[in-house]
Structure formats: structure tokens, C-alpha cells
């Protein structure tokens, strides 16, 4: 293994065949990780029924997986320095494969959440390390190409995963949504053992435990606050107040320590690069918008619209096809101006969000698939320009930490916004149900009109029960529409930041 100081030369000098073997290995590994994330969202309703969980409880299988990923992603730089690229890639895949198997074997919600946390923690280095490896192996003039190919290939997981998981869950069990990932992850594990050269210059560098633990506690406490706040009535609960205090104190300690330490866990020097700093804010917004619809739509489609699992997976797969189309278009737009792709992508997300706020219980399958395709198209158009512009001027020595923080910010945005959106659905459902049931009284003369009531009746307990279910269904839809409005508003917030990005020099 040799290095080169030439600005256009890769950090690792490998043969052309070896480079593309590395590309395939990295893509398969990250594809398996992405498939696990998207597959879980497609089978959420069936897991909820099998585990007898509420909507906010089953969402923990997604939010705490993303949270574990967010907590352990910043360790990527330290792990690479200590064990090398190949070692971290291999053992991450070993842990990820084991946790995926145990997710499928879980018999309780607690066990499932635990193994999803292990799955997220062990798989956390795969995406940032994969991106770092490709940037180190390929010359700078090919960075836009490999990032796009990395993203395009990663869409096969989101396309095939939810579709296959939906059908397997419908005909067999939700557990097969995890079992089907095992062959791919095992193959990636074996290939990673031979893809990257063995590194001899690894050394036992110290880990800034103060920075790591304070950041982890701050993120974990905030996630718990957001996940349990609605159930515990927010700051009326002593638990929520304690979690808020711990999160604030831990974050203060992290910032103070990072600014005063000689070797902080995450270097503040990263934010001195203008494009990287703006890219960090944009990737938070990107994370907030990326996974939230994937958590909300499956439960809406099954619980409120009665869609079968196979059809839910089919809808989700259209998002993956949109992502693939978005990456292809980004390869062209990035050559013109990175800001064109970002503005176009966030603009499409705004349109898809506005469209979602107008749906009702008569929404067609074509509408859902088209909207999912638009969401995916936007994701594909946004990712490559953000990643390219953020790292274009960053010092290569800061690249490992920079990629780790980049993915950390994305995961924080995802987990926090998912929790906020689910809390809004639960809050709005309860509030609107209470308000609408106030009108169901014997003194409401409208209820005696056959043209208004149709097949509904308040003359029997069965009739009242049926009417209560319909009111709850309508109240839940309002909650989902509120969450989609939040999704639209966040998309609009990104547009001004895009124009602050400095176009990379060629």
C-alpha cells in the first residue's frame, strides 16, 4: 500500500481491477444495510400486530436503530485509525449479520428493539467508511462518478428489500424480512476480507472518551425525550424533565470539551470549511425528510386504508426506483452546478409533501406510487450534490472524521424528526377524536338525517362502536396530514441554504 501527494491521485494506489472489486464490495455491504432499514419500515404494521405494540412503541424499532447508528457513527474515524479500513469493514459486517439474524428470531418487542439497536450500532461504520474508502481508492476526478454509483447501487436494497419483505411477510412471516438479508450480508462479509489491502500502519490511538460519552448521552437522552414525551405528557412528567436536563448538560459538556481539548472526539476544524459547514446543515434536513415518510406511510396504509403487506412493499419499492432515477439525473446536473440538483430535489419534495396533505381514504394506488417515486427522485437528486460539495475542499486528513460527522448529522435528523412526526400523529389523533365525539349526542338533530348518517347508527352499541372506529380513523388521518405539512415546511427551509453553497472548482 502506498500513498500519493498529488491532489488528483487517490490516497490508496491500487490496480484498476482491485478498485472496482472494492467498489462492488462496498456497494453490496452498504446495500445490505440500507435494505435492512427500508425493509423494517415495510413490515412495521405486521410487527406491530405480532408484538401487540402501539404505534409509537413499534416505531422504536426504527428510531432506536437510527439512534444507535447516530451514536456509533462518529467512532468510525477512531476505529479506522486503530484497526484499519478492512478490519472495521469486516467486523462491522459480522456484527450486522449476527444482529439481523437475531432480529428475525426475536420473540418480544424488547428483544426486537435490542437487536435493532445492535444492528444499527454494528452497521454504523458501513456507510461512512464505505464512502471514505471510495474517496480514498479512486482519484478526485472520479469522486462524483463513484459517489453516484455508490448511491445508485444502494437503491437496489431499498427497491428489492421492501417489495420482497412485503410478499414474504404476507405469505410467511415478517421474520423473513430479516432472514432474506442474511445471504447478501454474509457474501459482503467474505468479500470484504479480501477486497482491501492489509494496513500495517495502524496504531493504538487514544479515544476521547469524554467527548464520545457526553455526545452519546446527549443524543440518547434527547431521543428518549422525543419518543416518550407524548405518552408521558411532556414536561408534566418528571422523567421528561430529567431527560431534558441530562441532554442539555451532556451537550454543554461535549461542546466545552471539544473547544478546549487538544484531541477532541470530533474536531471543530471541520466547520471552518464553508461548504462542509453548510453541507452539515443541509444533511440534517435531508435526514429529516429521508426516512420519515417510510415510517408514517406503512402504518397509514395498513391501519387506516387496509392495504395488505405485499401492496405496502410495492408502494415502498417505487420510492427506491425514484432514488435510482434521481441519482442518474444528479450525475448530469452535478456537472452543471451542484445547486441545481439540490434546488430541484428539495422543490420536488415540497411538491410531494403538498400532494400528500391532500389525500383521503379514497386515494388511489397510482397516486401513492407516483408520490413515492417523487420522494425517491428528490432523494437521489439531493444526495450526490450535497456529498460532492461538502467534501470537495475538505482536507483529506479530516475526511474520515468529516464523513462520520456527515452521516451522524443525517441520522440525528432522521431519528429526531421521526419521533416528532409520530408524536404529532398520536397527539392529533387523540385531540381530534375528543373534539369530534362531542358532536355524537342525542341532541344533535343532524344525526337523525338518513342522508347524513348513511349506514351509520347511534341506536345500538354495535352502531356506536362502528361510528367510534370511523371517527378514530378520521382523527388519525388528520394527524398524518399534519405530519405531512411538517415534512413540506422542512423541505422549504432548505432552499435558502442551498444558495449559500460555493460551487466547487474543477
Q: What pLDDT score was predicted for residue 503?
A: 67
Q: Rounded to 5 degrees, what are φ and ψ at 363? A: -60, 140
Q: Are 44 and 297 in contact (CB under 8 A)?
A: no
Residues 364-381: tens digit of each pLDDT: 889 999 999 999 889 888
Query: DSSP string covering 15-56, please?
Result: -HHHHHHHHHHHHHHHHHHHHHHHHHHHTHHHHHHHTT--HH
What gap in Å lies between CA 26 and CA 245, rounded to an integer? Answer: 40
Nearest to 387 by CA among 135, 160, 174, 156: 135
The number of residues making up the chain comes to 506
Nearest to 169 by CA among 373, 368, 314: 314
What gap in Å lies between CA 325 and CA 348, rounded to an integer? Answer: 13
Q: What pLDDT score was predicted for residue 489?
A: 93
Residues 239-276: tens digit of each pLDDT: 889 989 999 999 999 889 888 888 787 777 777 878 88
Q: What pLDDT score was predicted for residue 199?
A: 62
What gap in Å lies between CA 279 and CA 390, rounded to an integer? Answer: 5
Q: What pLDDT score was predicted for residue 506?
A: 47
The pLDDT tens digits along the chain (506 residues) read 444 445 555 556 666 777 778 888 888 888 888 788 767 777 877 888 888 777 667 777 877 887 787 778 777 777 877 777 778 888 899 999 999 999 888 888 888 989 999 998 888 888 778 877 877 777 777 766 777 677 666 666 666 777 777 778 777 888 888 888 889 889 888 888 877 766 655 555 677 788 888 888 888 888 778 777 777 778 888 888 998 999 999 999 988 988 888 878 777 777 787 888 888 888 889 888 887 887 788 888 877 888 877 787 788 778 878 887 887 787 777 667 778 888 888 999 999 999 999 888 888 889 999 999 999 889 888 887 887 788 777 777 777 677 778 877 887 888 788 888 888 888 898 888 888 888 777 777 777 766 666 666 667 777 777 778 888 888 989 999 999 999 999 999 989 988 887 765 54
* Phi-psi label, residue 129: left if phi above 0, alpha if psi -120 to 50, beta otherwise: alpha
What gap in Å lies between CA 60 and CA 394, rounded to an integer? Answer: 35
Q: What pLDDT score was predicted for residue 451?
A: 62
The set of cell numbers assigned to 266 is: 470530533
Q: How many CB atoms lie within 10 A of CB 199?
A: 15
What gap in Å lies between CA 25 and CA 32, rounded to an integer? Answer: 11
Query: The pTM is what?
Result: 0.74
What gap in Å lies between CA 228 and CA 230, rounded to an integer? Answer: 6
Task: For residue 472, give Cα distances in angstroms to 9, 308, 416, 478, 479.
Answer: 61, 20, 26, 10, 11
Q: Are 456 and 466 in contact (CB under 8 A)?
A: yes
**Mind spelling out the 3-state secondary structure of 431-449?**
HHHHHHHCCCCCCCHHHHC
Write down the residue that cell numbers 462542509 correspond to.
276
Q: What pLDDT score was predicted for residue 260?
A: 86
Output the CA angle 156-107-103, nearest 5 degrees: 25
**Range list of β-strands (E), 155-204:** none
CA terminus-to-terminus distance, the chain: 28
Amino acid at each position: 500500500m502506498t500513498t500519493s501527494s498529488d491532489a488528483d491521485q487517490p490516497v490508496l494506489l491500487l490496480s484498476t481491477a482491485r478498485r472496482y472489486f472494492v467498489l462492488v464490495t462496498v456497494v453490496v455491504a452498504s446495500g445490505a444495510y440500507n435494505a435492512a432499514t427500508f425493509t423494517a419500515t415495510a413490515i412495521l404494521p405486521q410487527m406491530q400486530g405480532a408484538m401487540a405494540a402501539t404505534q409509537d412503541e413499534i416505531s422504536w424499532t426504527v428510531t432506536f436503530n437510527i439512534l444507535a447508528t447516530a451514536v456509533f457513527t462518529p467512532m468510525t474515524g477512531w476505529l479506522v485509525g486503530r484497526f484499519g479500513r478492512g478490519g472495521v469493514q469486516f467486523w462491522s459486517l459480522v456484527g450486522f449479520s449476527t444482529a439481523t439474524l437475531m432480529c428475525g428470531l426475536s420473540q418480544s418487542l424488547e428483544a426486537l428493539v435490542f437487536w435493532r439497536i445492535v444492528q444499527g450500532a454494528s452497521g454504523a461504520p458501513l456507510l461512512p467508511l464505505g464512502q471514505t474508502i471510495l474517496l480514498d481508492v479512486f482519484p478526485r476526478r472520479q469522486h462524483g462518478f463513484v459517489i453516484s454509483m455508490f448511491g445508485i447501487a444502494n437503491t437496489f436494497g431499498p427497491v428489492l428489500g421492501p417489495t420482497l419483505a412485503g410478499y414474504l411477510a404476507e405469505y410467511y412471516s415478517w421474520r423473513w424480512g430479516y432472514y432474506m438479508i442474511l445471504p447478501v450480508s454474509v457474501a459482503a462479509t467474505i468479500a470484504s476480507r479480501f477486497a482491501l489491502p492489509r494496513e500495517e500502519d495502524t496504531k493504538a490511538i487514544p479515544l476521547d472518551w469524554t467527548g464520545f460519552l457526553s455526545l452519546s448521552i446527549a443524543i440518547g437522552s434527547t431521543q428518549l425525550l422525543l419518543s416518550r414525551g407524548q405518552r408521558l405528557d411532556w414536561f408534566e412528567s418528571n422523567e421528561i424533565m430529567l431527560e431534558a436536563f441530562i441532554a442539555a448538560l451532556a451537550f454543554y459538556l461535549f461542546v466545552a470539551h471539544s473547544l478546549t481539548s487538544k484531541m477532541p472526539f470530533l474536531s471543530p476544524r471541520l466547520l471552518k470549511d464553508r461548504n462542509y459547514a453548510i453541507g452539515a446543515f443541509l444533511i440534517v434536513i435531508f435526514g429529516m425528510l429521508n426516512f420519515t415518510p417510510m415510517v408514517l406511510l406503512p402504518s397509514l396504509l395498513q391501519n387506516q386504508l387496509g392495504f395488505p403487506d405485499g401492496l405496502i412493499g410495492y408502494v415502498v419499492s417505487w420510492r427506491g426506483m425514484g432514488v435510482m432515477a434521481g441519482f442518474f439525473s444528479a450525475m448530469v446536473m452535478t456537472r452543471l452546478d451542484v445547486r441545481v440538483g439540490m434546488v430541484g430535489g428539495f422543490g420536488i419534495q415540497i411538491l410531494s409533501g403538498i400532494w400528500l396533505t391532500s389525500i383521503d381514504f379514497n386515494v388511489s394506488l397510482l397516486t401513492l406510487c407516483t408520490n413515492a417515486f417523487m420522494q425517491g427522485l428528490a432523494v437521489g437528486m439531493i444526495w450526490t450534490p450535497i456529498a460532492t460539495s461538502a467534501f470537495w475542499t475538505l482536507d483529506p486528513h479530516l475526511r474520515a472524521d468529516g464523513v462520520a460527522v456527515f452521516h451522524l448529522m443525517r441520522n440525528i435528523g432522521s431519528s429526531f424528526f421521526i419521533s416528532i412526526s409520530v408524536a404529532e400523529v398520536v397527539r392529533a389523533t387523540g385531540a381530534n377524536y375528543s373534539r369530534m365525539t362531542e358532536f355524537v349526542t342525542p341532541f344533535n338533530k343532524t344525526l337523525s338525517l338518513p342522508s347524513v348518517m348513511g349506514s351509520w347508527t347511534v341506536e345500538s352499541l354495535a352502531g356506536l362502536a362502528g361510528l367510534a372506529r370511523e371517527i378514530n380513523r378520521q382523527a388519525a388521518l388528520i394527524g398524518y396530514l399534519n405530519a405531512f405539512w411538517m415534512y413540506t415546511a422542512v423541505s422549504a427551509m432548505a432552499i435558502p441554504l442551498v444558495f449559500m453553497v460555493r460551487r466547487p472548482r474543477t
